Amino acid sequence: MQWQSLTKSQAVELALARLKFRHPETVLELADAIESEREFGWVFRVSQNGAQPAGGSSPSIPSMVIVNKYSAQVVANAIEYRLDEFIKQYQELLAQNQSDSSKWCGTVGFPLPWRWLRGKSAAERAKENGFYEIRAQEERG
């Protein structure tokens, strides 16, 4: 079975549904952050209509999200990057992830002490740079 990539309208629907799950009392809207589709998908600015509920227990609303049209991932960032930097960081993480995954076959894990000297994984770099995935169903606690 061949995977079909998302359309822009599906991407908007997906991002809004996931954001709504995290922020059920808040009315959110998405607007294009860039004029054209990128190779990976779309970048949307998130705007909030209405007041955020008091209590501070819910996670903060991101200012931008990326929807990957191939993986259906909705990605946000805890750090307020400029638009161009947000896209650049995401593209670098994608490139590293693709490079890392293409090397899995035929290689063995690094033996000690070389394991400590290896570069950081894409996941480690993503976390360091504030990126996080907005999942369909998250544990709230």
pTM: 0.77
The mean of the pLDDT values for the chain is 81
pLDDT given at position 101: 61
pLDDT given at position 58: 54
Kindly list the averaged pLDDT for each block of 10 residues, start to end, along the chain of length 141: 80 95 91 91 89 54 95 93 94 85 53 56 87 76 40
- Reported as a single tens digit per residue, the pLDDT across 92-109 is 999 988 776 655 455 555
Integer Cα distance of 82 and 86 in angstroms: 6
Pairing of strands 41-49, 64-68: antiparallel
* Cα 113 → chain centroid: 33
List, in sequence order, every residue forming a beta bridge with 32; answer none if it has no partner.
44
Q: Mark out the alpha helices in the chain (DSSP H runs).
A: 8-22, 83-102, 114-117, 122-128
pLDDT given at position 55: 45
Q: For the chain, which residues make up each domain, given as ranges? A: 8-133
pLDDT given at position 100: 66
User: Positive or negative CA dihedral for 105, 107, 110, 111?
Assistant: positive
